Chain A
Amino acid sequence: MKEQLALLPGLLTAHLQLTLAALAAGTALAVPAGILASRIPRLEAYVLGIAGVIQTVPALALLAVMVPLLAALGLPGIGWLPAFLGLGLYSLLPILRNTVTGLGAVDPAVIEAARGVGMTPWQRLRVVELPLALPVVIAGVRTATVWTVGMATLSTPVGAPSLGNYIFSGLQTRNLDAVLVGCAAAAALALGLDGLVRAVALGRERRRRGLVATGGLGLLALAAWALAAPLAGARGTAERPVKIGTKTFTEQYILGEILAGQVRRATGLPVEVVSSLGSTVAFDALARGEIDAYVDYTGTIWATLMKRAERPPGREQVLAEVRRWLDETHGIRVAASLGFENAYAFAMPSAEARVLGVHRLSDLAPHAARLEAGGDYEFWSRSEWTAVREAYGIEFAARRSMDPSLMYAAVRARQVDVIAAFTSDGRIAAYDLVTLEDDRGAIPPYDAVLLASRALAERRPEVVAALAGLEAKIDVERMRALNRAVDEDGRSPAAVAHAFLEERP
């Protein structure tokens, strides 16, 4: 818990900064758009329609879409910008709708009175209509505030640190303390911000200057704090830290900490771990030099990035081809091959396998029609599954997608019969599962490779050299043990990584 709380000031500030910036931008855009829409009836349907469509896109997808979109425009595709834009767009609808509703609900008799005393259209809006609509507009801002605080946790996978770091890594590594701290902090922030906006609204309505001032000053103070933090940070460290990326599963969190520790020890440079990046976000970020290094897997690059559909050659040859492709197309260096594979492999309880007499995938094929299979969110649409299906003629009775962290427990509890497991997961041994041999070689090899950006290799060769020191240093047994220490024993990825680095000479 103490370890988690130490991260709080940084993540809370980042979260607050993102939320306030998105809300400010959303309000600045939505209120004028709402005014315009309420003046021009033909526009209203379009404006509300567009905002409504944005709202129906799931928040996570909206943020993820920003990444390639911004990259296509030549803007930074990961980090603060996509999160800010996504959240800003998301905050539009409640404010826009309430502005239109609030202005529409102003009594026509009052509007006529405003005309009758000789106000110009602008004076009418400023003196009569907006003040009367304001409580409704502010109610919209409050809705948007609570939504945005919650939604901002989803900016973690696009590379913007937020309280979501707690939740994503906490759920993956079964660290309930982290999840709890993240949720509690987000809830407190939502309540706090909502309270301040409410104070301003209430103070205005009841004409209590003190209340307006308290709410306004509170918001200003928070904005100042959120702004001051990055500025101070920018002044404090003129040198850009080495940025290590991680994807969103336990092994990646551990490897991220190992990489960071290795670089720190060998070079003394400042290091920052950008954790919980979406799978393709991590690669794009590396290609664009927004992060410097992370660990990926040869099979993933082979299948999803190089889009090679043919039956893969051997482990060495895939690695060689991946190495060449990365260098030629993106200037990315393979700094080290860590020495283990984290491949997809079908796994089932060993007792079950014995009863069915299944050791290899070709043994599984005749039984498949009576079995239910589980896989991670992407597996059933990945080319590996297509390849397995074609090579073995396997058709399962049912295929389910589930969170990878729940998959192992599901097969242990016989809620599914087979899972598409990750071979380096510590739970394969812990839950007495067996992996089935891919005897027809349909699934490519998945050697864990440490990728370094072109920029890092040019600017900081000593870092690449330090990372190269990890070559063949982690075998699959070791990785399973490390994963198990986190997933089953509840230790933190940082602690496990530290212990690993300590015991190595």
Chain B
Amino acid sequence: MIEADGLAKRYGDRLVVDSVSFRVETGELLGLVGGSGCGKTTTLKMINRLIEPSAGRVLVDGEDALAVEPHLLRRRIGYVFQGIGLFPHLTVEENIAVPLTLAGWERAAIHARISELLALVELGPEVRGRRPAGLSGGQQQRVGVARALAASPRLLLLDEPFGALDPLTRDRLQQSFLALRRKLGLTAVFVTHDVAEALVLADRIGVMRDGRLVQVGAPRELMRDPADEHVARLLETPRRQARVVDSLLRGPA
């Protein structure tokens, strides 16, 4: 369970996140959507204190995140980075092992766990010894997910996890991720600017604009009862695009 209460971030005079509150129930997946600079990534990073909040608080499983040493807090929360964020000098195996080593696992246990994780993210054992540069973008992102899941965190944060991938790979990874979620019952918050992705993955969607959380709700609620014109238009985008594609395909004939 993750609870944000009146979160705010100020840089000088600029308020980039303004009193954002939400609650993510155990086993639930919240998608934060909005345009560039709306404050969604900053909000995500304040949950595990990669960015320290200027005001407000975060409760992680009922515990105040500000009362925990930041590095200990982060070890409890899996994080999938935008643009992947693997360590370029380490092999796939070593990258996935990092959270396990930090948690003090034994060598043999780490080895076995990596096999498990590679299978989980559908990667063959042949990638173990490779460096990130020797993998495709999709494979790298799978390694990123495997690393985030390595120490079996109950909470997961994902920052534009599939943004840098080609459409087919993205689609495949989204399906894998949904399967993983069902299997592991993860509680997660993810950030995306792609409304269609949010609709496909999220149980509930939070729409952000100018540092504020405008509306939170299940996709169907938001569509049926949008808080304002902006939310309505945003949620309408995938369908509008689908109609355009549709009419192009039918053509004037």
Q: Which residues of A contact B (CB under 8 A)?
A: 107, 109-110, 112-120, 123, 127-128, 131-132
- B74→A115 contact, CB < 8 A: yes
B191 smallest CB distance to A (angstroms): 14
- A112→B88 contact, CB < 8 A: no
CA–CA, A39 and B50, complex, Å: 18
B151 smallest CB distance to A (angstroms): 9
Contact with A along B92-119 (1 / 0, CB 8 A): 0000001100100000000000000000
A107 smallest CB distance to B (angstroms): 8
11 residue pairs of the A-B complex, CB under 8 angstroms, read A109-B83, A109-B85, A112-B50, A113-B81, A115-B50, A116-B48, A118-B72, A118-B75, A119-B71, A128-B87, A132-B88
- B88→A117 contact, CB < 8 A: no
Q: For A118, what are the chain B residues with a Cβ–Cβ distance below 8 Å?
A: 71-76, 99, 102
- Residue in A closest to B101 when the chains form the complex, CB atoms: A127
B190 at the interface (CB under 8 A from A): no
Q: For A113, what are the chain B residues with a Cβ–Cβ distance below 8 Å?
A: 81, 85-87
Counting residue pairs across A and B whose Cβ atoms lie within 8 Å, the total is 52
Which of B70, B72, B74, B89 touches A117 (beta carbons < 8 Å)? B74
- A116→B79 contact, CB < 8 A: yes
- A116→B98 contact, CB < 8 A: no
A203 smallest CB distance to B (angstroms): 14
Contact with A along B122-149 (1 / 0, CB 8 A): 0000000000000000000000000100
A388 smallest CB distance to B (angstroms): 69
- Residue in B closest to A114 when the chains form the complex, CB atoms: B87
A480 smallest CB distance to B (angstroms): 68
Q: For A127, what are the chain B residues with a Cβ–Cβ distance below 8 Å?
A: 87, 98
CA–CA, A119 and B147, complex, Å: 14
CA–CA, A128 and B88, complex, Å: 9
- A116→B88 contact, CB < 8 A: no
Q: For A116, what are the chain B residues with a Cβ–Cβ distance below 8 Å?
A: 48, 50, 74, 79, 81, 85
B160 smallest CB distance to A (angstroms): 12
Given contacts A113-B81, A120-B71, A128-B89, 16 further A-B pairs with CB under 8 A are A110-B85, A110-B87, A113-B85, A113-B87, A114-B87, A115-B70, A116-B48, A116-B74, A116-B79, A116-B81, A116-B85, A118-B74, A118-B75, A119-B102, A127-B87, A132-B89
Q: For A115, what are the chain B residues with a Cβ–Cβ distance below 8 Å?
A: 50, 70-71, 74
Which of A109, A123, A131 touches B81 (beta carbons < 8 Å)? A109
CA–CA, A112 and B144, complex, Å: 14
Q: For A131, what are the chain B residues with a Cβ–Cβ distance below 8 Å?
A: 89
- A117→B48 contact, CB < 8 A: no
Q: For A120, what are the chain B residues with a Cβ–Cβ distance below 8 Å?
A: 71
Q: For A132, what are the chain B residues with a Cβ–Cβ distance below 8 Å?
A: 88-89
Q: Which residues of B contact A (CB under 8 A)?
A: 48, 50, 70-76, 79, 81, 83, 85-89, 98-99, 102, 147
CA–CA, A114 and B86, complex, Å: 9
- Residue in A closest to B49 when the chains form the complex, CB atoms: A115
Listed from nearest, the 3 A-B pairs whose CB atoms lie closest are A118-B75, A113-B85, A118-B74
Q: For A107, what are the chain B residues with a Cβ–Cβ distance below 8 Å?
A: 88
CA–CA, A107 and B81, complex, Å: 14
CA–CA, A109 and B76, complex, Å: 20
What is the interface of chain A mostly: helix, strand, loop, or mixed?
helix
**Do A110 and B72 form a contact, CB below 8 Å, given A116-B48, A119-B102?**
no
CA–CA, A131 and B95, complex, Å: 14
Instruction: Give the residue among B87, B99, B102 with the most A Cβ atoms within 10 A.
Output: B87
CA–CA, A127 and B88, complex, Å: 12
CA–CA, A131 and B75, complex, Å: 22
B98 smallest CB distance to A (angstroms): 5
Q: For A117, what are the chain B residues with a Cβ–Cβ distance below 8 Å?
A: 74-75, 79, 98-99, 102, 147
- A123→B102 contact, CB < 8 A: yes
Instruction: Give the residue among A113, A120, A131 with the most B Cβ atoms within 10 A.
Output: A113
B76 smallest CB distance to A (angstroms): 8
CA–CA, A447 and B88, complex, Å: 72
Q: For B81, what are the chain A residues with a Cβ–Cβ distance below 8 Å?
A: 109, 112-113, 116
Q: For A112, what are the chain B residues with a Cβ–Cβ distance below 8 Å?
A: 50, 81, 85
CA–CA, A109 and B83, complex, Å: 8
Q: For B70, what are the chain A residues with a Cβ–Cβ distance below 8 Å?
A: 115
CA–CA, A114 and B74, complex, Å: 10
Q: For B50, what are the chain A residues with a Cβ–Cβ distance below 8 Å?
A: 112, 115-116
CA–CA, A35 and B34, complex, Å: 40
- Residue in B closest to A131 when the chains form the complex, CB atoms: B89
Q: For B83, what are the chain A residues with a Cβ–Cβ distance below 8 Å?
A: 109
B178 smallest CB distance to A (angstroms): 23
CA–CA, A118 and B75, complex, Å: 5
Q: For B74, what are the chain A residues with a Cβ–Cβ distance below 8 Å?
A: 115-118
CA–CA, A116 and B161, complex, Å: 14
- Residue in B closest to A121 when the chains form the complex, CB atoms: B71
- B79→A110 contact, CB < 8 A: no
Q: For B72, what are the chain A residues with a Cβ–Cβ distance below 8 Å?
A: 118
Instruction: Give the residue among A115, A118, A132 with the most B Cβ atoms within 10 A.
Output: A118
CA–CA, A107 and B84, complex, Å: 13
Q: For A114, what are the chain B residues with a Cβ–Cβ distance below 8 Å?
A: 87
CA–CA, A298 and B134, complex, Å: 76
Q: For A128, what are the chain B residues with a Cβ–Cβ distance below 8 Å?
A: 87, 89
B53 smallest CB distance to A (angstroms): 16
B84 smallest CB distance to A (angstroms): 8
CA–CA, A114 and B79, complex, Å: 11
CA–CA, A112 and B73, complex, Å: 15
CA–CA, A245 and B85, complex, Å: 64
- Residue in A closest to B79 when the chains form the complex, CB atoms: A116
A334 smallest CB distance to B (angstroms): 68
A126 smallest CB distance to B (angstroms): 12
CA–CA, A268 and B85, complex, Å: 74
Q: For B85, what are the chain A residues with a Cβ–Cβ distance below 8 Å?
A: 109-110, 112-113, 116
B229 smallest CB distance to A (angstroms): 36
A426 smallest CB distance to B (angstroms): 65
Instruction: Give the residue among B73, B76, B79 with the most A Cβ atoms within 10 A.
Output: B79
CA–CA, A84 and B38, complex, Å: 59
Q: For B71, what are the chain A residues with a Cβ–Cβ distance below 8 Å?
A: 115, 118-120
CA–CA, A120 and B101, complex, Å: 13
